[in-house]
A and B are shown apart, each in its own frame.
Chain A
Amino acid sequence: MNLRLHDLSKSFDGRTVLQRVHLELQDVHALVLIGPSGGGKSTLLRLLAGLESPDSGTIEIDGSGLPFGNEAALRRHRLQTGFVFQAHNLFPHLTALENVALPLIHVHGVPRPEARRQALELLARFKLDSHAHQRPYELSGGQRQRVAIARSLAVKPRLLLFDEPTSALDPEMTAEVLDTIAALKPEGRDFVLVTHQMGFARRVADHLAFLGDGGIAAHGPGTSLLDSPPTPGIRKFLERVLHY
């Protein structure tokens, strides 16, 4: 994926979260965003997803700009984008299978039996087929988040976005979800991931960007940012998160 952010700004109720952000990346498959809470990581991810519109500036993915201001066109962008939220955000009244099949049936027009077959196949891949007919409240946190990942993958998105997918999970479940995400990497599907798990960032990142104080403070290929923090601020942040 080629990604170009140009002069991107976003504020909420007068609080500036992103201020004139610039970034140009060529041929990255796994972009990892790190940084302090409130530093704009999630906001940038939501802009990439087309869930929010920027106050000014543009986002280009593979040469085509996101059509902010045109809800119909933005919806088409969202159809090709998978989003995994911090909390699993599954639909509580539907089974795991129905959660995964729903976007296929109602958004992508896949016939019901075929959609269910595909959903089951995907759940089986994540070893969730025995839970296919359970509702979210019957699943563990890790299982829920894996169902959410299966749902985002079902529509074969061009781009996958993960917003701290393990922040609500205990260490064991975190490992189970991170392994699932890591397994997606060899498939060559592009993703952008927000995480506080530095070990995992190191494992999957093609490119790492540090967001804080309204912008991208630093970015670099692979794990260079982690190995030699370019600013004292980043070094301090990394020392703090790696301390425990």
Chain B
Amino acid sequence: MRRFFLAPAGPSSAPTPPGILAAHFLLVLGVLTFGFTLTFHQLQYHWNWEGPWRYRALFWKGWLTTLALALASLGLSAIVGATAALAAKSRFLPARAASRLYVELVRGTPFLVQILVLFYVVAPALRLDNRFIVGTLALALFAGAYITEIIRAGIDSVGRSQWETARSIGLTTAQTYRHIVAPQALRQTLPPLAGQFVSLVKDSSLLSVIGIGEFALNAQQVNALTYGTLECYLPLALGYLVLTLPLSLWARHLERRTHFDT
């Protein structure tokens, strides 16, 4: 019985079999489902799935748009974050100042304001009139600021002695980053990075304010057409989970693969 409910006390004890872990997972899921069913039953809500089903193409299109937005800004935000983190560590002081200012400005102001300024002020000045591109940029710059701090902390987690050793065997700074710092920092940064990417996927819903027909905006539209609030927003939640769960699982997998003790 103990063995069914408790994880092993120390690293030397045998690990819990995967079957038991799965059983607990299903158990919690079952309790949760039961609770939800009970509360929804109390509501005596008259489900009407016909409306959303009629507009399923709109859901599908929105979901695909969100997927495209997320993928594009995910890649771009990683590049922005890595660049700004390296700038923060640079010996060139203007680069450090620029990185610091970028992080503080973006983290300290609402994403909504950033989107609006980028779309109504910056984009017209640059003759940029593609909403999708402006949206991707806004999202990448926003998430990039957080990723900058995550990567910077990861770089700082690699001890001074590692840098010194790399220097003593003759590695250049670039080689030290590539072969010594990056692999060690990556492991430290994977969990917060995965969290940030999940946030990015959900934050893309704010891009509806500049009229990008992404998942959340389209769900709102279907709601306006059918008055079936829950029938529109529950599929919305499910659609986001389908995007974010693989990200979390992938990060977990990478974490295990890059595991080493120090």
Contacts and interface: CB of A to CB of B under 8 A. Distances in A.
Contacts of A87: 161
Contacts of A103: 169-171
Interface of B: 161-162, 164-165, 167-172, 175, 179-180, 183-184, 187, 258, 260-262
A89 B170 contact: no
Interface string A32-73: 000000000000000001010000000000000000000000
Given A89-B161, A137-B262, A51 B168 contact: yes
Interface residues of A, number: 22
Nearest to A102: B179
A85 B162 CA distance: 11
Contacts of B175: 106-107
Given A51-B164, A85-B165, A91 B171 contact: no
A75 interface: yes
Contacts of A106: 171, 175, 179
Given A87-B161, A89-B162, A78 B167 contact: yes
Given A51-B167, A135-B260, 20 more contacts: A49-B168, A79-B170, A83-B165, A85-B161, A85-B164, A85-B168, A89-B164, A91-B162, A91-B184, A92-B184, A92-B260, A92-B261, A93-B260, A102-B179, A103-B169, A103-B171, A106-B175, A137-B261, A137-B262, A155-B170
A79 B167 CA distance: 9
26 contacts: A49-B168, A75-B172, A78-B167, A78-B170, A81-B168, A83-B168, A85-B164, A87-B161, A89-B164, A91-B165, A92-B184, A92-B260, A92-B262, A93-B184, A93-B187, A93-B260, A102-B179, A103-B170, A103-B171, A107-B170, A107-B175, A135-B260, A135-B261, A137-B261, A137-B262, A155-B170
Q: Chain A interface mostly helix, strand, loop or mixed? A: mixed
A151 interface: yes
Contacts of B164: 51, 85, 89
A85 B166 CA distance: 12
A87 B262 CA distance: 13
Contacts of A155: 169-170
Contacts of B167: 51, 78
Nearest to A95: B260
B154 to A, nearest CB: 13
Q: Chain B interface mostly helix, strand, loop or mixed? A: helix
B104 to A, nearest CB: 31
Nearest to A75: B170
Interface of A: 49, 51, 75, 78-79, 81, 83, 85, 87, 89, 91-93, 102-103, 106-107, 135, 137, 151-152, 155
Contacts of A93: 183-184, 187, 258, 260
Most B CB within 10 A of own CB, among A85, A106, A135: A106
Contacts of B172: 75
Most B CB within 10 A of own CB, among A92, A103, A155: A92
B165 A78 contact: no
A137 B161 CA distance: 16
A49 B77 CA distance: 41
Most A CB within 10 A of own CB, among B184, B260, B262: B260
A224 B172 CA distance: 42
Contacts of B262: 92, 137
A151 B165 CA distance: 11
Closest CB pairs A-B (n = 8): A137-B261, A79-B170, A103-B169, A89-B165, A83-B168, A107-B170, A92-B262, A93-B183
Contact of B169 (A92, A102, A135, A137): A102
A89 B165 CA distance: 7
Contacts of B184: 91-93
Contacts of A81: 168
A151 B169 contact: yes
B171 to A, nearest CB: 6
Contacts of A107: 169-171, 175
A137 B162 contact: no
Contacts of A51: 164, 167-168
A91 B170 contact: no
A137 B262 CA distance: 6
